[in-house]
Amino acid sequence: MFARTHSQYWKICSSIRQKRYASGNQTNIIFGANTDVGKTVITAGLIRASGNTSHYVKPLQCGGSDQRFVEKYATNVTSATTLFEWETPASPHYAARVENKPISDEQVITSLKDCLDSLNSPMTWVETAGGVMSPSSSSPDNNGPHHARDKELSWGWVPQADLYQTFSDSMSAVLIGDGRLGGISATLTALESLLIRGYNVSGVIVIEKGYENQKAIQEYASREVDGRTATSTIFRYPESSIVSLPELPPEPEPLDDWYHSEETTKALESFVQVHLNQAWEDCKSAN
Ligand SMILES: C[C@@H]1NC(=O)N[C@@H]1CCCCCC(=O)O
């Protein structure tokens, strides 16, 4: 299943890799352990922490506008773009069907590639929609044997981890974990889904909700596997790879104080400066 998706876009992928490495640009892809875990809040925080030359891209948006949130809270963002949007706040495959607005895998990948080619920035942040295995947008053109399909309509889709797999070795992945009860399992499941697809996962960031989920994820990743710690096989810097952020204030309170707090600022700045940059070097040298 994965090999087919990969080979389908292989040519596009190679050209992306060559161009991105040649220009020294770094592209990060943000995945979530689930929807509503704080992907956009953290992406805006990472952009705030990464200086003045960051671009934000949201390929699929269903209801609301994460782009507007990023523009509001990360005022240093150089550009923010949404590629495809639907009004229905639901899974992209469902929103596409109910609004009769199909977008195929190929359209998403080609449009994202064109967008990345047009940006000349040291740092780009691509935010996925929902969780790692949440569906892509559906389309009658998504009709390969690997597409999940509705029998009557035949508008197929793939999990987003498969959709973006073509970028797995040209982007550095960051997983936003789930701080809720049940979030340890959701985060570890999402992490494994990314790793088996070959993504370079540079770290996991969790907004805590009173359950110390980050600690459990770090403990699990640090256990011994075949005489080595699991963390050392996944993350180069185990201590700084799995990061926790303080609980968010209750809605609709603004997030300015949360972003300005020492705990949030320090955690995100060190993640961007030390960890992500190193992860990116690793990603480059592996190619
Ligand atoms: C509704 C939200 N809007 C958006 O742009 N992303 C979210 C999509 C959530 C998809 C969840 C599908 C699932 O995994 O069940």
Give the pTM: 0.90
Please, which residues bridge with residue 156 across strands? 139
Ligand 1 nearest atom to the CA of residue 94, by list position = 12
Ligand 1 nearest atom to the CA of residue 91, by list position = 10
Spell out where 177-262 has E strands. 200-207, 224-225, 228-229, 242-245
Show me where the domains of the chain are located.
26-286
CATH superfamily of 26-286: P-loop containing nucleotide triphosphate hydrolases (3.40.50.300)
276 Cβ neighbours under 8 A, 6+ residues apart: 26, 28, 172, 174, 202, 203
CB atoms within 10 A of CB 134: 22
* Pocket flag, ligand 1, residue 131 (CB < 6 Å): yes
> What ipTM goes with this model?
0.97
Measure the CA–CA gap between 151 and 261, rounded to whole angstroms.
51
Could you give the 3-state DSSP secondary structure of residue 93?
helix
**Which carries the bigger pLDDT value, residue 132 or residue 16?**
132
220 CA to middle of ligand 1, Å? Answer: 27
Which of 80-89, 210-219, 227-236, 277-286 has the least mean pLDDT? 277-286
Ligand 1 nearest atom to the CA of residue 58, by list position = 5
Residue 113 has pLDDT above 90, yes or no: yes
* Pocket flag, ligand 1, residue 77 (CB < 6 Å): no
